[in-house]
Amino acid sequence: MIPLRDSVPTQRWAVVTWLLIGINVWVFLNEILLGPQLEAFIETWGFVPARYFLLAELEPSNWIGQYLPILTSMFLHGGLAHLLGNMIYLWIFGDNVEDRLGHLRFLAFYLLTGVGAALVHAHLAPDSTIPTVGASGAISGVLGAYLVLFPHARVYTLVPFVFVFLGVVEIPASVYLGLWFVMQVVNGTVGLAIGGAAAGGVAWWAHVGGFVLGAGVAVLVRNWRTEPRRWRPEYAPW
């Protein structure tokens, strides 16, 4: 199912969301230009759990090689499909979460959930020497927050069947994101069962960790909020 947009209008332009999209696209274009040097670049700036836990060859004093890739890996992608999939989700759901949290708090939230997601994956695969890249962990946090903050929203979704698109279907956000989360848990469990935390080359538990962390932060934000809501209802027409 391909999400197209949601039903929640925003009051402010999502500056940070678009900035993050722009940075991710710019970094990916630079990855393409690296050519044969790309593999070494990913090895350096992708997040390798074994280096974080100093289980792989790395100078103990090299804190940049140990810690900085937790952040830099969030802006790297393994291919065009990987990039587009992540950016579509960030574009659809990120603006609303940013609208609720505010620009700077959303940026801090995005980075926090991305780091948390990477660490969840690392603790489940501490000896992995495979670099992990992608904004999926942080965007999973955005999805978790969206589910908590906008549970009655709707997601307009393009539903494919074999090679035919059945049309645009209006799905409650709670159902869409709930199914998405269940899929991550199932795939992650299968991965652990067959002896790896990244089944099929995907760090499923990073998605799960980011989603749970994002939902938890959103619960606190929702409970702290005391001023009346200023934006239009979640059932505004498309």
Where along the chain do its domains lie? 2-224
For 146, half-sphere exposure in the C-beta direction (CA atoms, 13 angstrom radius) is 34
Number of alpha carbons in the 13 Å side-chain half-sphere of residue 119: 11
Which residues, other chains included, contact 225 with Cβ-Cβ below 8 Å and sequence gap of 6+?
none
Q: For 107-133, give one letter per residue: b (16+ CB within 10 A) or e.
A: bebbbbbbbbbbbbbbebbeebebbbb
Measuring CA to CA, which residue among 37, 42, 116 is closest to residue 73? 42
- Rounded to whole angstroms, the Cα distance separating 229 from 127 reads 47
**Can you give the pLDDT at residue 66?**
77
Q: How far is residue 236 from each of residues 22, 72, 95, measured CA to CA in Å?
A: 28, 38, 16
238 residues of the chain, pLDDT tens digit each? 788 999 999 998 999 999 999 999 999 999 999 989 999 999 999 999 888 887 656 665 566 777 899 999 999 999 999 999 999 999 999 999 999 999 999 999 999 999 999 999 999 888 888 899 999 999 999 999 999 999 999 999 988 765 556 678 899 999 999 999 999 999 888 877 776 655 556 888 999 999 999 999 999 988 765 444 544 444 444 4
At residue 126, the pLDDT reads: 87
- Other C-beta atoms within 10 Å of 4: how many? 14
0.95 surpassed by pTM: no
Domain 2-224 grouped into CATH 1.20.1540.10: yes
- How many CA atoms, within 13 angstroms, populate the side-chain half-sphere of residue 199? 16
